[in-house]
């Protein structure tokens, strides 16, 4: 094959391997820009096993839950240190967004920069709701550990039956920079005991 023909063949193959301008615009318009990214750049929402330190920090979250308007409590941890704590304050603050996770995030940011949230682990007595999971992802929190699952709590309180992993996966499909690891069931029975002894409202 002549050199000119080889160059045209190689160029044609390379062009076929890349998305065309029309395909790229169509992907953006259709909300599927993620499909244009290499696998390494894509978001990820996965489950992971419990770690040695998890029970100790979950006890801190349960202590916050015991102080809350409902038994949801949160601690945010970085490098083995609790950086912020938050009980559910929805009634005391008359604020339906003041879930334990949101209170802890706001308290963290009152003293530190948003960049410092990245790489942290959030511990919660109960599986985060859709609102809190969205905030966790946008803040760049690396890992979420919870005690009682949404399914566990469905028979005890009124809440949307949306597992955190489902929410995180749906968001990850649209936002390639979001990554989170989720571990559930840490001190589950102790977390559920709080919901048995404290009267809660939706």
Residues noted as catalytic? 101
Beta bridge partners of residue 108, listed in sequence order = none
Compute φ and ψ for 183, nearest 5 degrees.
Answer: -125, 125
Fill in the DSSP letter of residue 180. E
Ordered strands of the 73-78 beta sheet: 44-47, 179-183, 143-148, 121-126, 73-78, 81-87
Cα separation, 36 vs 28, whole angstroms: 9
SS3 78: strand
- Residue 141: both structure tokens together: 């929190």
Cβ atoms 45, 168 nearer than 8 A = yes
Cα separation, 124 vs 103, whole angstroms: 12
């Amino acid at each position: 094959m002549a050199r000119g023909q080889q160059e045209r063949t190689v160029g044609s193959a390379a062009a076929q391997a890349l998305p065309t301008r029309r395909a790229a615009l169509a992907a953006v318009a259709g909300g599927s820009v993620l499909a244009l990214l290499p696998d390494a750049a894509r978001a990820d929402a996965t489950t992971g096993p419990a770690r040695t330190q998890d029970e100790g920090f979950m006890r801190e979250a349960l202590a916050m839950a015991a102080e809350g308007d409902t038994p949801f409590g949160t601690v945010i941890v970085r490098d083995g240190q609790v950086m912020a704590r938050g009980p559910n304050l929805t009634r005391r603050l008359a604020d339906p967004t003041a879930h334990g996770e949101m209170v802890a995030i706001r308290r963290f940011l009152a003293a530190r920069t948003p960049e410092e949230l990245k790489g942290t682990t959030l511990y919660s007595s109960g599986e985060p709701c859709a609102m809190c999971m969205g905030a966790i992802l946008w803040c760049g929190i690396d890992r979420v550990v919870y005690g009682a699952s949404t399914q566990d709590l469905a028979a005890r309180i009124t809440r949307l039956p949306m597992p955190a992993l489902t929410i995180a996966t749906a968001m990850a499909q649209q936002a390639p920079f979001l990554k989170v690891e989720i571990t559930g069931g840490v001190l589950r029975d102790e977390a559920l005991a709080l919901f048995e002894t404290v009267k809660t409202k939706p």
